[in-house]
Structure 1
Amino acid sequence: MASGHSRGGYSSKVHVLCDGEGTLFGIMATGGQRHESTELENLIASCELSLHRYDSRPEVVTGDKGYSRNAIRQLIRYRQTKPVIGSKANESRDANFDREAYRRRNIIERLIGWLKESRRVATRYDKLACSHLAFVRLAATRRVLKPLQINSAQPVFYGFGRRVQSPLFDRRAPEYLSSLRIGMSSVKLLLCSASFAPSYGGPARSVSGLADALQRSGCEIAIWAPDNSALQNSFLTDNSPVQTLGGSLETALSEVGELDLIHDSGIWMPHNHAIAKHCRRYEIPRVVSVRGMLEPWAKRHKRVKKWLAWRAYQQADLRSADAIHVTGDTEARSIAEVGLRTPWLVPNGICLPPSLFSPSRGKRVEGLHKALFLGRLYPVKGLPMLIEAWSTLPANDWRLHIVGPDEAGHRAELERLIAKFGLQDVVEIQDAVDSSLKWKLMSEADLFVCPSHSENFGVAIAEAMACGTPVVTTTGTPWKAILDRRLGWWVKPSVNSISKAMREAIECSPTELRQMGLDARDYVTGKFTWDRVGGEMRDRYRELLTST
């Protein structure tokens, strides 16, 4: 809907971002009561893909005094861009303020004026936000096409009242129009997962995050899980327009109506096979995210059942999929080994911690230091290796906190190991926590540890890095960048390797660990925002639907 009550009554507000020539780059709609500055981060993230297409990034981002906050200036600097924002009367003035760049801020006002020449943009007649934004994009497209002289040998571009011969337009217009057409006809998708319960871990969060990002990009999204957990999904944003479905698969499909595409997360389960059969029967394009379930360790776990399932239906279901989605190079190699089609390689996104830009945030320098594991307590996570490795460390001021829901009685096994090695005073196991406490634990930790045998992405690793916490993880995760960029330790999944990495981490000074954490934060916040990932997935869907 994107509407709400403001001083003028029931209204909506359109947030736009343009380049120096008044060409629309990013657009969002919210209720009229929302302040512009609250949506800037999502607005910038939504247009990063378009900026990447032009192989350039802006030198400056200008905004009026309403955007004058330290958090916003930091947000812009993290994207290697200079903020030019006016100071409020109660703030000190920046001696290096670029007045010349600030004068060009009127371009955004002119763009809004140009768009409002279209009556349907000036006055909103559409109930759905996606419909309203589609007409705004249509108005922007009309403005881009207006100066193009079709019969001219040289493309012509009019900029601010003067006629300019511009070869650049010939290269840029098709790319710009391609990015706009995605919003012109909304794609309707169903995203399926085994569960959206918090205890299900990374997939529940990542599928929900993708649903929200795709909805913001102009798609119509519905989500479903066989355990009805979609109806109580706590990972969707407040008042999210994503449609949540319950009941059986047949009930959900009849409720959602005609679909352009189904994206299923996971394999092996009966509902995955039912979705594959439905898509084949009704010729609906299907994308499958394998979620690390073809990794060597995963295939060895319950290998007899999986061998039978592979022969009975799973191999055929994957071969009949229109696209296979993976989140890392390791998964892509596993797909190639079983002879399947070349997959889409698109990483998961992450939700940024609410305290990311807080100036008071920081690690403790004195006293006890904390190493944190946060995730499901399950054999694939490699926690027995971590506990054994911890027992080899010398007595020190470090403590290990293991936080997460128990699965298959694995917690009892871990507690026996802790007692066996006499680590009751230095290792603590805690039940699963809610989202706000999760961010607090990650921000306060001096080190995040993920000793998994296999991870298709490792959402918790990225979230810890976003909190400015260095990471110790294994080569079973697709995070080689940690080793390449010195953001922590990326070692083999063995007791000796983990023990060696932990010793090196403990010997680092707090200053060294803090710098690793800051570098890790800069890396993930610039690459793994949900709106950026959602934009890339949206384009993949569009290409698939066009080809089919």
Structure 2
Amino acid sequence: MKILHIIPSLSPLRGGPSQAILEMVQAQRQQGIDAAIATTNDHGDATFLSPYGQLVESGSVPELVGPSVPIWVFPRVLSQVAALREFAVAPTLAPWLWQHVADYDLVHIHAIFNYPTTLGMAIAKAKGIPYIVRPIGSLCRWSLEQGKAKKRLYLQTLGRRLLRGSAALHFTTPQEHQEALAAGFDGASFTLPHGVQLPAPITTASYQLRQRLSIDNDAPIVLFLSRLHPKKGLEHLIDAVATLGEEKFTLVIAGSGDADYEAELAQRIKQAGLGRRVRQIGFVIGDWKICLLQGADLFVLPSYSENLGIALLEAMAAGLPVVTTPEVAIAPLIQQHQTGLVTAAHAPALATAIQHYLHHPATARKHGQQGRALVATEFSWPTQAARLLEQYTQLTQPSVEITAKATQASSALR
């Protein structure tokens, strides 16, 4: 079976979905699926160099992080207009897709509201090739409210028709599916989360982390690791730790974002008098990221909206207890399996949750162990790749009637 994945960016600066698709394709190829990715050379506000219109290995591109898998790269138009730059227009992608999309049995679209995936849906539809659309949270309530007028115009003119033409919508959690239903997207669908790689334990991670960041041995490390974006609720976390008084802790903030927003956060930290108790370390990848996750004591993500919450899954895979909010789609799973605490996204509630783990380290360790066990059993890539192959097989067999009811039965989050 040949599968073409289309995503506007593989840059690690774009967050979890760009990393997840590389791991997804690697797992599929290990199970005998001939899978490849078509994407642009987007790298945040910049671009990366790569042979264009040729099949290359992602590992040959220094800016890309993760497994090395086959990718087709097309140059994105560099515009001074932010809206056009974010739409990721790549003119040479159109003729390539028109010529080659029929070489594949199915097209898996990742994200909407951008040029590459809109084009992928339209051309697959025109050529009669079945396609799946994974909205990556784009149809959730919070996302639809951002840039509301532009998104409404997109959906009214073209988007909704293309989404209805898909063989199925691929949601990663039941909550994401329910929010899409509430927004009127009620076509065929299935629910299947990402897989997560379980890192090998680093026995010296805590020591390495404390040495590198000059953190005292008796100060528990509270970690925030994600894109720096207003929807992540980081302001509430800063305000929460500012109320912890004489509690011993260090807050490590890992991630990057808009320069103006980063400056706002730095000013907020300064005004709260937290300069010595916070380490802002910027964007992290590779072994340093793994060391951060394994060396910390607690992970906090007080987000306003997450269609899955890959950062939380990575933290649980590293054995960390987590604190998050009800708006994160895997919050019910965290509560059910006691892998962390779910609380409102405001400072007093977050402070109480953080204090609970600071005062009860044995509970923190237990919840961290339960989180790692959950990820190992329910979110391993071999398991998720096999489940996704079942969906592909159904969707590429014309004799099988695909309905929302049938596909929902295979949900990995039952």
Specify the alignment match of 1:220 in structure 2: 34
Q: Which has the larger radius of gyration?
A: 1
Closer, same or farther in 2 for the Cα pair 1:257/1:236, shift >3 Å?
Answer: farther
Asked whether the 8 Å contact 2:94–2:119 carries over to 1, the reply is no
- Contact kept? 1:276, 1:317, Cα under 8 Å: yes
CA distance in 2, matches of 1:379, 1:472: 18
TM-score by length of 2: 0.81
Q: What is the alpha-carbon root mean square deviation over aligned residues?
A: 2.2
The equivalent of 2:240 in structure 1 is: 389
Residue 246 of structure 1 pairs with residue 60 of structure 2: no
Query: CA shift at 1:380, angstroms?
Result: 1.3
Which residue of the other structure, out of 405, 409, 412, is the alignment partner of 2:263? 412
Look up the match of 1:170. none
User: Measured at CA, do residues 544 and 408 of structure 1 come closer, stay the same or move farther in structure 2, by a change above 3 Å?
Assistant: farther
* TM-fit CA distance, 1:428: 2.1
Q: 1:501 aligns with which of 347, 350, 353?
A: 353
Contact between 1:222 and 1:256, CA under 8 Å: does it hold in 2? no
Change (3 A) 1:503 1:411: same
In the aligned structure 2, how far is the partner of 1:297 from the partner of 1:269?
A: 18
Of residues 165, 186, 199 in structure 2, which corresponds to 1:353?
Answer: 199
Alignment of 1:280-359 (within 5 A): 280-339=125-184, 340-355=186-201
Deviation at 1:303, TM superposition (A): 1.6
Alpha carbons 1:335, 1:343 under 8 Å: kept: no
- Structure 2 residue identity aligned to 1:522: A
1:272 deviates by 2.2
Q: Which residue of 2 aligns with 1:458?
A: 309
- CA–CA separation in structure 2 for the residues paired with 1:432 and 1:538: 33
Q: Deviations over 1:49-93 (max 9, x none)?
A: xxxxxxxxxxxxxxxxxxxxxxxxxxxxxxxxxxxxxxxxxxxxx
- Check the 8 A contact 1:378/1:408 in 2, yes or no: no
Evaluate the alpha carbon distance shift between residue 491 and residue 406 of structure 1 in structure 2; reply closer, same or farther with a 3 A threshold: same
Deviation at 1:215, TM superposition (A): 0.8
Q: Contact 1:372 / 1:448 at 8 angstroms: preserved in 2?
A: yes
In the TM superposition, residue 378 of structure 1 has moved relative to its aligned partner by 0.8
TM, length-normalised to structure 1 = 0.62
* Whole-Å separation in 2 of the counterparts to 1:418 and 1:207: 34
Report SS of the residue matched to 2:250. strand
- Does residue 200 (structure 1) correspond to residue 200 (structure 2)? The answer is no
- Mapped partners of 1:282, 1:251: distance in 2: 13
Which structure has the higher relative contact order (CA within 8 Å, separation 6+)? Answer: 2
Pick from 256, 260, 263 the counterpart of residue 105 of structure 2: 260
Separation (CA, whole Å) in 2 of partners of 1:446 and 1:272: 39
Tell me the amino acid that sits aligned with residue 234 of structure 1: L
Q: Could you tell me how far 1:345 is from its partner in structure 2?
A: 0.4
One-letter code of the match for 2:118?
A: H
Identical amino acids, percent of aligned pairs: 28
CA distance in 1, matches of 2:334, 2:150: 35
The aligned counterpart of 2:45 is none
Q: Is the 8 A contact 2:298 2:320 kept in 1?
A: yes
Q: Does 1:430 align with 2:281?
A: yes
What is the distance in 2 between the residues matched to 1:255 and 1:442?
Answer: 41
Q: Write the distance in 1 (CA, Å) between the matches of 2:317 and 2:372.
A: 4
Judge conservation of contact 2:132–2:168 (CA < 8 Å) in 1. Answer: yes
Counterpart contact for 1:327–1:348, Cα < 8 Å: yes
Shift, 1:420, TM fit: 2.0
Q: Which residue of 2 aligns with 1:401?
A: 252
Q: Distance in 1 between matches of 2:72 and 2:66?
A: 10
Q: Which residue of 1 aligns with 2:412?
A: none
- Residues 133 and 170 in structure 2, CA contact (< 8 A), matched pair in contact too: yes
**What is the Cα deviation at residue 243 of structure 1?**
4.2
- Asked if 1 retains the 8 angstrom alpha-carbon contact of 2:304 and 2:345, the reply is yes
